[in-house]
Amino acid sequence: MQKASSALLPVIALDRKALLPLHKQIYDSFRKHITHGSLRAGQQIPSTRALALELKLSRIPVLTAYSQLLAEGYCETRIGAGTFVSRSLPQQEPVHGRQPGRNQAVAPKPRSVARRAQWLEPYRPQPWLGGLGAFCVGQPAYEEFPFHLWAKLVARHCRHPHINSLHYGGPFGWDGLRAAICSYLRTSRAVRCDPHQIMIVSGSQQALELTTRVLLDAGDAAWVEEPGYWLTKQVLTALGCKLAPVPVDGEGLDVAQGIRRCSKARAAYITPSHQFPLGVTMSAARRLQLLDWAERSGSWIVEDDYDSEYRYDSMPIASLQGLDRCDRVIYIGTFSKTLFPGLRLGYIVIPEDLLGRFAAIRNAMDLGSPHLYQAVLADFIGQGHFARHIRRMRQLYNQRRLALVDSLRKRFGRGVEILGAEAGMHLAVTYPMRIRDTEVSLRAVREKLWVAPLSSAYAERPDKRGFILGFGGTPAVQASEAVARLKSLLNA
């Protein structure tokens, strides 16, 4: 018996009223797909029967077109397997987008896009964020993740999918996961919430965008930490908001300076548990000052609690949201650090009176995060694997950060300042340098060391130079050698 063909059907537009015979139209379409590279050498094409069925034709014109393609060497048959684009054809690069016409200059004129699409520069990944390995910021210990357990849960949910998980869900996400997150947040993060206030999103990034869409208009100003998280600034810029950078000192965001610089800000975006990138924990006095400002000015606080599960020398710091008595805080969390970023799952805790607004905007953005992984994650948390994994990782990351701190002190000596090593999966270092930190980071990329320059986290003129070093994905035994290589780049 012949195996069912797995060939994809290429787009073949037939004009039944045209003078050109149907077999010629089919032949022309295939030849174009092959010469333009959208059908590649060695790729299977559909059987004549399947194509005739798809095009609602008799097989005769299809057979005629195929025999012409075979005769001219565009295609070849393999007995028992089917018809393929000839392997001997030179590989054509796929043709994308516009081709310069005969009278057109080679470089086409830029075409107009919406003004708001130009508020951000065209996307170009930062070189130092482009790889995995030593010092990569945001890389957890992938090799330690309990994939055997995870795989069992995925398999179970695939084998016996809940019918609701196959259909569209509501904008808030999978109820089982919302309940699991709610009890975790109440117990471990002192967040005040009920399950119905939790919305599952595709990572903190979506949470930041959704929150901004709901709370701010284009032209509104928002406080951002200086230095601060790159992608918060990108969200605000993309939505036409004005950045009001507020310096961070040893107590976190300097609220008094924020009020002096931009008292009318509609919101403050902060990372109070472990400031990104300097690692400061916001003091109790500043937290109360910030809440007081938000209440008096009718502004919002967006708390990005991205990695607070990992604290090494003390208990995790309670959330700012837990102190809020006026429902001015939107609390955002993610599974990117505790599990893995490719999961793309995070959550927002939304004040009661804003639930409808958030749901409406979310519904216009997408129709929810994939249910399969929400259901798997609900079990993963419910069965205790999540808490166990965090406990194990806390110990492991503690070893990794101690090894890194030790190596930095040994190699860099007294000039090095290490910031924020008491929590999270990264620390920041400053060091007197004759060259710019971006230059060192670019050199490091060539060495497969992924160090983000501290200056890249500033919206305005940087007042610190140095690096952000991730240690979650850098085993303790590799720390000393990697730090030695980084140090040698400063002297090169």
Ligand X SMILES: Cc1ncc(COP(=O)(O)O)c(C=O)c1O
Closest contact distance (angstroms) between CB of 477 and ligand X is 25
Over the range 114-143, which residues count as b (16 or more CB within 10 Å of their CB) and which as e? Answer: eeeeeeeeeeeeeebeeeeebbbbbbbbee
* Concatenated DSSP letters of 429-489: EE---SS-HHHHHHHHHHTT---EEGGGG-SSS-S--EEEEE-TTS-HHHHHHHHHHHHHH
Q: Tell whether residue 474 is a contact of ligand X (CB under 6 A).
A: no
Closest contact distance (angstroms) between CB of 344 and ligand X is 7
Task: Using alpha carbons only, give the angle 337, 343, 344 rounded to the nearest 5 degrees.
Answer: 85
- As given in the structure block, the two tokens for residue 394 are 């806390």
Q: Tell whether residue 374 is a contact of ligand X (CB under 6 A).
A: no
Closest contact distance (angstroms) between CB of 203 and ligand X is 3
* Concatenated DSSP letters of 90-122: PPPPPP-SPPP-TTS-SSPPPPP--GGGGSSPP
Q: Tell whether residue 319 is a contact of ligand X (CB under 6 A).
A: no
| 127-156 residues near ligand X, rule: CB under 6 A | 138
| 270-299 residues near ligand X, rule: CB under 6 A | 271, 276
The β-bridge relationship of strands 300-304 and 267-270 is parallel
d(CA 93, CA 34): 10
Nearer to ligand X, 61 or 472 (CB): 472
Q: Tell whether residue 225 is a contact of ligand X (CB under 6 A).
A: no
Site string for ligand X, 82-121 (x = CB under 6 A): ----------------------------------------
| 146-205 residues near ligand X, rule: CB under 6 A | 203-205
Dihedral class, residue 174 (left if φ above 0, else alpha if ψ from -120 to 50, else beta): beta
Q: Which of 88, 3, 1 is nearest to 47 (CA)?
A: 3
Nearer to ligand X, 75 or 468 (CB): 468
d(CA 309, CA 273): 10
Q: What is the largest CA-CA distance in the chain?
A: 84
Nearer to ligand X, 279 or 351 (CB): 279
Closest contact distance (angstroms) between CB of 231 and ligand X is 7
Nearer to ligand X, 39 or 457 (CB): 457
Nearer to ligand X, 119 or 230 (CB): 230
Q: With CB under 6 A as the contact rule, which of the stretches 173-181, 333-341, 451-459, 475-483 interacts with ligand X? A: 333-341
d(CA 437, CA 419): 16
Nearer to ligand X, 34 or 376 (CB): 376
Closest contact distance (angstroms) between CB of 341 and ligand X is 5
Please select the residue that binds ligand X; options are 27, 30, 269, 306, rule is CB under 6 A. Answer: 306
Q: Tell whether residue 226 is a contact of ligand X (CB under 6 A).
A: no
Closest contact distance (angstroms) between CB of 295 and ligand X is 25
Closest contact distance (angstroms) between CB of 346 and ligand X is 5
Q: What is the phi/psi pair of residue 138, to 5°? A: 85, 5
β-bridge partners, 269: 224, 302
Sign of CA dihedral 137, 143, 146, 151: positive
Closest contact distance (angstroms) between CB of 392 and ligand X is 21
Please select the residue that binds ligand X; options are 74, 172, 229, 358, rule is CB under 6 A. Answer: 229
Q: Which of 431, 468, 177, 423 is nearest to 312 (CA)?
A: 423
- As given in the structure block, the two tokens for residue 290 are 């910030």
Q: Tell whether residue 431 is a contact of ligand X (CB under 6 A).
A: no
d(CA 4, CA 107): 45
Q: Tell whether residue 341 is a contact of ligand X (CB under 6 A).
A: yes
Helix 230-238 vs helix 203-215: crossing angle, to nearest 10: 40
Please select the residue that binds ligand X; options are 25, 336, 369, 430, rule is CB under 6 A. Answer: 336
Nearer to ligand X, 180 or 208 (CB): 208
Q: Tell whether residue 358 is a contact of ligand X (CB under 6 A).
A: no
Nearer to ligand X, 62 or 348 (CB): 348
The residues binding ligand X (CB under 6 A) are: 138, 203-205, 229, 271, 276, 304, 306, 334, 336, 341, 346
